[in-house]
Amino acid sequence: MRRPSIAVATAALAFSAMTAQAAPPSAPAYPETRKGDIVEQHFGEAVADPYRWLEKDVRNDKEVADWVARENGATREYLANLPAHPWFTKRIRELMDYERFGLPRKAGRNYFYMRNSGLQNQSQLFVRLGLDGEARLLIDPNAWAKDGATALDDWEPSKNGNLLAYSVQDGGTDWRIIRVLDVRTGKVLPDEIRWAKFTGISWIGNSGFLYSRFPEPKEGAAFQQLNKNQELRFHRIGTPQSADELVYSTPDQPELSHYGEVTWDGRWMVVTTSKGTDNKFALHVMRMKGGRWGAPQELVGKLENDWRLIEGMGDTLYFMTNKQAPKLKVVKLELGKPGQPFTDVIPERAETLTRAQIVGQRMILNYLKDAASTAEVVALDGKHAQDIALNSIGTASGFTGRPGDPETFYSFSSFNQPSAIYRYDSKTGESVPFAQPKLTFDPAAYMIEQHFYASKDGTKVPMFIVRKKALADSKTPVPTLLYGYGGFDISETPGFSASRMAWMEAGGAFALANLRGGGEYGKAWHDAGRLHNKQNVFDDFIAAGEYLIAQGITPKDGLTIQGGSNGGLLVGAVVNQRPDLFAAAVPQVGVMDMLRFDRFTAGRYWVDDYGYPDREADFRVLRAYSPYHNITPGTAYPPVLVTTADTDDRVVPGHSFKYTAALQAADPAGKPHLIRIETRAGHGSGKPTAKAIEESSDVLSFLAAWSGLKVPSSGSGQ
């Protein structure tokens, strides 16, 4: 709905208070980068790789370390002199300075939850005896490292709530150290697990837990060596890791990964096996008795479909699956009846099922409808019981619990609403707030719209557009930040970000495009944006930018783009394909060399989405869009700020190093092409608040400088 004309007048007053912004500084003199002479033949094509030496680990190679230091020095000097930098630093800090909570988990009589007072580098773990008990600090990761870069990652209480296993992430790496704590005394026990990675923690009663690990890497290779031969092991409390029992492994198939879960009643262990990033799983079950497990029994042998254990009740197991249901359904299996097939409980619907959980004697279902959440409660036979009112466009998550539990907790957030936590009573169906943030801005001042635009092939793609209502009413084109991902069956949904809110407070618009390759519309949507269809993702993103300009939401010289990881690849690819379309671009921790991504750490998993570089048909596709290999000398590229981190062992920083070196060499006298390399930070998780504020300030001040966004002269920007 349009607001009264007074809103437009208010918008005009706000614009008059903006700071006049000078032209952004020109590109600095780039540090000299050695160019090698490597040229390799791939299926009859000569492919040059002059910057391969930058793939070496910065920790172990002096030349790479020196290059990183020189590039960082030039970038930091440039960013520090951008006029919007002080305002963004101040405002993002203010927007992050609010008390926030994680979802509570109940074990025994204890309730465990995370809490951050506002600007703490890492959130703390608290426990309450009973829901209304006094909060007691259990773990404070802020005391673990002076720079705040050691984080509490996962944690799981034992069934009785007396012990807690938790994993530690240092400097952003994917490697985890698992430790155990006595909840009653707060004492950390001697137990310590090393070389855990891509793991969960699943207790077997109160005696110990399952976890997944890889063999110890070769010395100096922990951040680059390929991850193979993952094993599922059991750690018994009070014993050394060397005594941990092997539960399940496949040494004859080292590329397989394994994850173990135990049903709430301790009756069955379910082992899920995968090969790559695709949601294609095999399943084995083991009968549990007296804390021990029997021989594995195969339930699903082929890696063809998605299978996610919901819960087990006695000999009945419930799963989500996309077998003959691309948008997923709920099925059950009676293990006590040999030969009994999986039977449908909740058939596939028009919406995409994202989560199902048994709480009390009912099942809670979480769906995506056009990338926004809906939730409902059904009986265990599938009959509808009630809807859970979410009231607005946003994302609901959580709904954890067990059969017989009186409650569950869930969070709800949106672009203009930080996460609020609610307690849902499984008997009455009532939702009441458990923790709600106190805000320093007015959510009602922002409008969230969903548009559907046509991609190159005519496919309708949804996109969220968020901005001040006054700006929407005035129909004034403003600098716009467009974000996308488009891969690995991952759904991009509405959520709060302090940096995006700061951008909008300064008068910009934010857009999130739900590109093909994601999971917003199930398997077909994912398949339409991967492997030989990957160009569809780039076409979707380019079409989103063209739509924002055509609709008058942003001026042609005001469109900026950002994406991380697979989204960093996206940004690199579209900058190559349409350098004229974008005012500035920020590819973060991106996969930039599509011919060698499978040679490092977790890269081998990504062939499910990208294909195999050593297969000719896949090579032709990868070569056609690889950001590193498609930079053309003499092209006027838009300003680009690349970001990565020295401890990123998911997408190794060599991707970003090589891409930046090639971009600087191709357009040395053009717009700035810079790289920001964070120290003691990884792919993103576990990053301390202080580092997150610094990075966001750098990114937004860069985008503001090149899109014409003028930050307020003083005050909070509201």
- pLDDT tens, position by position, 193-250: 999 999 999 999 999 999 999 999 999 888 899 899 999 999 999 999 999 999 999 9
| Maximal CA-CA distance, the chain | 75
Residue with tokens 């998993």: 605
- Contact indicator for 172, 695 with CB cutoff of 8 Å: no
- Whole-structure pTM value: 0.93
Q: Cα separation of 452 and 290, whole Å?
A: 56
Q: What are the DSSP E strand ranges found in 548-590? A: 559-564, 584-588
Judged against a pLDDT cut of 50, whether residue 344 lies above it is answered with yes
In single-letter form, the type of residue at position 674 comes to L
Q: Cα separation of 174 and 223, whole Å?
A: 9
Q: Cα separation of 677 and 48, whole Å?
A: 25
Nearest by Cα to 694 from 141, 173, 85, 169: 85
pLDDT digits (tens, 9 = 90+) for 472-482: 999 999 999 99
Backbone angles phi, psi at 506, to 5 degrees: -75, -5
Judged against a pLDDT cut of 90, whether residue 109 lies above it is answered with yes
Per-residue model confidence (pLDDT) at position 455? 98
Judged against a pLDDT cut of 90, whether residue 534 lies above it is answered with yes
- Contact indicator for 213, 228 with CB cutoff of 8 Å: no
Q: Cα separation of 459 and 471, whole Å?
A: 29
- Contact indicator for 671, 639 with CB cutoff of 8 Å: yes
- Contact indicator for 646, 69 with CB cutoff of 8 Å: no
16 band by pLDDT with thresholds 50, 70 and 90? very low
Backbone angles phi, psi at 553, to 5 degrees: -80, -35
Residue with tokens 């004229």: 580
Judged against a pLDDT cut of 50, whether residue 178 lies above it is answered with yes
Per-residue model confidence (pLDDT) at position 429? 87
Buried b (16+ CB within 10 A) or exposed e, 125-159: bbbbbeeeeeeeebbebbebbeebbbbbbbbbbbb
Q: What are the DSSP E strand ranges found in 479-618? A: 480-483, 509-513, 559-564, 584-588
- Contact indicator for 451, 481 with CB cutoff of 8 Å: no
Judged against a pLDDT cut of 50, whether residue 718 lies above it is answered with no
C-alpha dist (Å) from residue 216 to 252, 446, 603: 18, 50, 18
In single-letter form, the type of residue at position 390 comes to L
Pairing mode of beta strands 509-513, 480-483 = parallel
First to last CA, the chain: 21
337 band by pLDDT with thresholds 50, 70 and 90? confident
Q: What is the mean pLDDT of residues 449-454?
A: 98
SS3 per-residue string spanning 394-432: CEEEEEECCECCCEEEEEEEECCEEEEEEEEECCCCCEE
10 band by pLDDT with thresholds 50, 70 and 90? very low
Active site residues: 565, 683
Q: For 219-228, 407-416, 473-482, 656-665, which range has the lowest pLDDT when averaged over its residues?
A: 219-228
339 band by pLDDT with thresholds 50, 70 and 90? confident
Q: Cα separation of 284 and 123, whole Å?
A: 36
Q: What is the mean pLDDT of residues 410-423?
A: 96
Q: What are the helix and strand counts (H, E) for the chain?
A: 12, 40
Per-residue model confidence (pLDDT) at position 17? 34
Nearest by Cα to 159 from 423, 427, 402: 402
Pairing mode of beta strands 188-196, 202-204 = unpaired
Backbone angles phi, psi at 462, to 5 degrees: -80, 150
Per-residue model confidence (pLDDT) at position 714? 55
Nearest by Cα to 139 from 102, 92, 97, 86: 102
Nearest by Cα to 501 from 559, 541, 443: 443
- Contact indicator for 327, 521 with CB cutoff of 8 Å: yes
pLDDT digits (tens, 9 = 90+) for 591-627: 999 999 999 999 999 999 999 999 999 999 999 999 9
Q: For 15-19, 197-201, 708-712, which range has the lowest pLDDT when averaged over its residues?
A: 15-19
Q: Which two tokens stand for residue 617?
A: 């048909």
